[in-house]
Amino acid sequence: MSIYDTLNKEQREAVYHTEGPLLILAGAGSGKTRVLTHRIAYLMDEKGVNPWNILAITFTNKAAGEMRERVDQIVGFGSESIWVSTFHSTCVRILRRHIDLLGYDTSFTIYDADDQKTLMKDVCKYLQIDTKVYKERNLLAAISSAKDELITPEEYELNAAGDFGKQKIAKVYKEYEKRLRANNALDFDDLLVKTVQLFQTQPEVLDYYQERFRYIMVDEYQDTNTVQFELIRILAKKYRNLCVVGDDDQSIYKFRGANIKNILNFEHVFEDAKVIKLEQNYRSTGNILNAANAVIKNNFGRKEKSLWTENGEGDKIAFRQFDSGYDEAEYIVGDIKEHVNNGTRTYNDHAVLYRTNAQSRMFEEKFVTANIPYKIVGGINFYARKEIKDLLAYLKTIDNGKDDLAVRRIINVPKRGIGLTTINRVQENALERGVSFYETLRAADLIPNIGRSASKLESFVALIEHFKSEAKNMSICDLMQEILDMTGYIEDLKSEGDIEAEARIENIDELMNKIAAYEESCEDEMPTLSGFLEEVALVADIDSLDEDSDYVVLMTLHSAKGLEFPEVYLAGMEDGLFPSYMTITSDDPTEVEEERRLCYVGITRARENLTLTCARRRMVRGETQYNKMSRFLKEIPVNLLSTGNLIEKDEKEVPKQNAYMQAKQAFRTQAFAMQKPKQQFTVTQGEGLSYDVGERVRHMKFGEGLVTGITEGGRDYEVTVQFDTVGVKKMFATFAKLQKV
């Protein structure tokens, strides 16, 4: 019996179709990874294709690792020559070899989101942009969208004619690009854009990779944006052996620039394309799939398909409606505890999914109280923590001296008596001379008005130069140890003497573990500093999910894509929350369709049991909000739900409201909002707060930010917070319920 006999009819058809363009519409849980891996095996075993002529692109490092493992198992010898990687990793590999043809140095740095923010701050300051009107994150988002569509700063400027706001963005975009180039750095979008530019301008490089990658496969094709589409199109142009796998019903990354038209219009771009649908699901029960089909069929912008299974009907979907968000969290936590106590499940069999990050807080509190281990996927990324960013900045400076941001970050960390005035003078001199910040430091005595600081700058340069020479002969682990020893970074942390400092030291230990793991993983190749920094830059949040540990997973629906669990709870199924209020009131009907696809993704994460929950009222911004059941819930046939009389009850409770009813409800709402928090959360002056100025806190709606001011009032504190995403907000401590991070 051959390995292909284990596949169903449609899967085999997809494996055997190797020549020309192919679109595989693979529904959730239909075994698409299995098809892809068997297709690679078929190309090598039966068609005699060289492994190095195959390119397989995925969206996460985790998916790439899984695919490589599975191909290894099937094929064995020769599979290591196949390129299995993410879009970004593929582009980095190509650029490391050829970016010098575009005028960059091959030792370029990759800027993460924090580096981009810092650079944008500098650009806005230099161009005297009012960041209250033009917020930095909005400027970065506009630039990212332009890059996704392959629009250069010059083109952006032309398109902005007559639009004052866009002209401002064009000016910022130009300067931002100029600074990136000067720093010999690329942001994430650049990795793709520069690769496309390389192929467009260097025909011999393009020809090399077209010959190299005669067979191209792309996973999660529904999530591709314009630049990714263009990259694939150019690469596949010569041999046209392009196989894309995706599910238009799981296209949920519009906010990141994903263009659903790439999959919907595939046959128009590649007219001779073959389309194969994989509709048999191997993951979920019949009831769960029927519910998912019933919801998604309400979308118009999709290709017709319907999931089915041989797994049996299974239990009905549990639907529970609660009085408040607290009751909802309490029920879910209690239900999980019961499953584990009676021995039917472990903690990691359960996942709680929700629409926004802010919803996690209530669950976290309940899990802590119930002593249940949990993990938030998509919380603070390990690599975004201060101490990790500091040490990585040292490594970046040693690897690429042109990276101004990295140098400026560590010039006074730990403190060396180099103040902001000195740093600004160095920066101004660097801009005047048109050289990097580090180059300017090397000639510190030439900087006007630098005075006594010159000797401090010289000793910093001497330290970095020492590390650079050591790096040539040392492993990365030893180099990191040398940095810690010579800078006294850990001693500096210890001198703080608080619990937080201990946690930070533990994080540094974890970074050492990461370096050691990287050096081990390089088996045949020499581990390099730039290779390590590259790997770190390309790590996604979801990659940190450790499946061997026993904890309940909490995550947003966006983070859950591609995962599956025996027990899934979909919380907060209310109109105004999911779909969001913004979506409901939007004039664009595709917005609700995007949210419905997100609901479909959530439902299809469940293998055996699915629980849908909602609450009649919820605290939002310190006020009670009354919500109706989500319209997505109402799209599920009642016979699939185990509800008792809950739905009927809901319908009675929320009748068509007349003016009297609305006024009555508004009165109740106000009264509730006035009384409850005063009882529970009044903060008196004597009590104090759990956080102080300069510390980071988390708000249930606005996310994380830095406390910049606390004013004592009569009965409460007024807290000013610089949030990472929404800017500066002032709020009363009573209602804000800020938690120290």
605 counts as catalytic? yes
Q: Among residues 605, 617, 628, 613, which one has the least CA distance to residue 570?
A: 613
DSSP state of 641: E
- Which is the catalytic residue, given 18, 33, 118, 590? 33
220 counts as catalytic? yes
- Which is the catalytic residue, given 112, 190, 220, 541? 220
- Which is the catalytic residue, given 10, 32, 58, 604? 32
∠ CA 186-188-193, nearest 5°, is 75
Q: Among residues 403, 392, 394, which one has the least CA distance to residue 185?
A: 403
- Which is the catalytic residue, given 148, 219, 387, 595? 219
346 counts as catalytic? no
617 counts as catalytic? no
Q: Among residues 175, 168, 187, which one has the least CA distance to residue 121?
A: 175
* Separation between Cα atoms, residue 390 and residue 370, nearest integer Å: 36
- Helix (H) / strand (E) element for 658: namely none
- Which is the catalytic residue, given 34, 605, 616, 698? 605
* Separation between Cα atoms, residue 456 and residue 443, nearest integer Å: 12
Between strands 215-218 and 242-246, the pairing is: parallel
* Separation between Cα atoms, residue 160 and residue 175, nearest integer Å: 16
* Contact in structure between 92 and 534 (CB atoms under 8 Å): yes
Cβ neighbours around 71 below 10 Å, total: 25
* Contact in structure between 547 and 394 (CB atoms under 8 Å): no
Q: Encoding tokens for residue 106?
A: 């091959």
What residues have CB less than 8 Å from 12, skipping those under 6 apart? 4
DSSP state of 628: P
32 counts as catalytic? yes
Q: Phi and psi (nearest 5°) for 498?
A: -105, 175
* Contact in structure between 554 and 565 (CB atoms under 8 Å): no
Q: Phi and psi (nearest 5°) for 276?
A: -125, 130
* Contact in structure between 372 and 333 (CB atoms under 8 Å): yes
Q: Which long-range contacts (CB under 8 A, 24 or more apart) does 452-455 make?
A: 453/417, 453/418, 453/419, 453/422
- Which is the catalytic residue, given 58, 60, 228, 250? 250
Give DSSP secondary structure letters for 92-146: HHHHHHHGGGGT--TTPEEE-HHHHHHHHHHHHHHTT--TTTS-HHHHHHHHHHH
Between strands 83-86 and 54-58, the pairing is: parallel
Which positions are catalytic?
32-33, 219-220, 250, 605
